[in-house]
């Protein structure tokens, strides 16, 4: 299972093509920086509970979205280059540059609420297609699902900030 956390210290920057709430439908182009966390996969059954997994990769995502009053749709493309880590309770051993992941997903968005003026709360969902490239291995394709909750905060008529928390489930 994979968790993409874009909240807390890492914020995605959303570049809007129109004023956030002044028109009935608008396009937006986004660039997001994030950090992924992985769990599950391989977990040792011995008492030490060590496990190999992708170790805290940074992600870069580009997206194109179209929003109307309540509904939206979009397409996102993400690139991840990461290390593989053996993580235990007291230490981590990581090998850099072990794999890269290219993800693409279409998504539907629904505006749940408008908070304090122009701030908007959205829920997002859609299928997820990933291409995993590991060193000295054949590439693997994974199909899964992704969902998110985001808060869009307009900074000006063309720029905004979006805080989001995403979760994806893949085999």
Find the Cα–Cα–Cα–Cα dihedral 114, 118, 122, 128, rounded to 10°: 170
Q: pTM of the entire structure?
A: 0.71
Name the nearest CA neighbour of 30 among 57, 4, 67, 56: 67
Residue 142 confidence (pLDDT) above 50: yes
- Report the alpha-carbon angle 97-3-66, nearest 5: 100
Residue 157 confidence (pLDDT) above 70: yes
What pLDDT is attached to residue 65?
92
What pLDDT is attached to residue 76?
95
Find the Cα–Cα–Cα–Cα dihedral 46, 50, 51, 52, rounded to 10°: -130
The dihedral built from the CA positions of residue 137, 141, 144 and 149, taken in this order, carries a sign that is: positive
**What is the arithmetic mean of pLDDT over 129-142?**
91
Residue 47 confidence (pLDDT) above 80: no
Whether 167 contacts 150, CB under 8 Å:
no
What pLDDT is attached to residue 41?
55
Q: Tokens representing 88? A: 């235990």
């Amino acid at each position: 299972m994979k968790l993409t956390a874009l909240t807390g210290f890492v914020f995605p920057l959303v570049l809007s093509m129109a004023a956030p709430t002044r028109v009935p439908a608008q396009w937006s182009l986004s660039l997001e920086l994030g950090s992924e966390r992985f769990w599950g996969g391989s977990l040792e059954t011995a008492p030490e509970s060590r496990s190999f997994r992708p170790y805290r990769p940074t992600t870069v995502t580009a997206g194109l979205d179209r929003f109307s009053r309540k509904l939206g749709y979009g397409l996102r493309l993400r690139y991840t280059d990461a290390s593989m880590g053996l993580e235990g309770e007291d230490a981590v051993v990581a090998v850099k540059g072990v794999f890269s992941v290219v993800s693409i997903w279409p998504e539907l968005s629904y505006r749940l609420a408008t908070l304090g003026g122009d701030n908007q709360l959205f829920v997002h969902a859609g299928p997820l297609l990933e291409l995993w490239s590991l060193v000295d291995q054949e590439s693997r394709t994974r199909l899964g699902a992704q969902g998110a909750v985001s808060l869009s905060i307009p900074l000006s008529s063309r720029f905004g900030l979006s805080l989001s928390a995403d979760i994806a489930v893949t085999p």
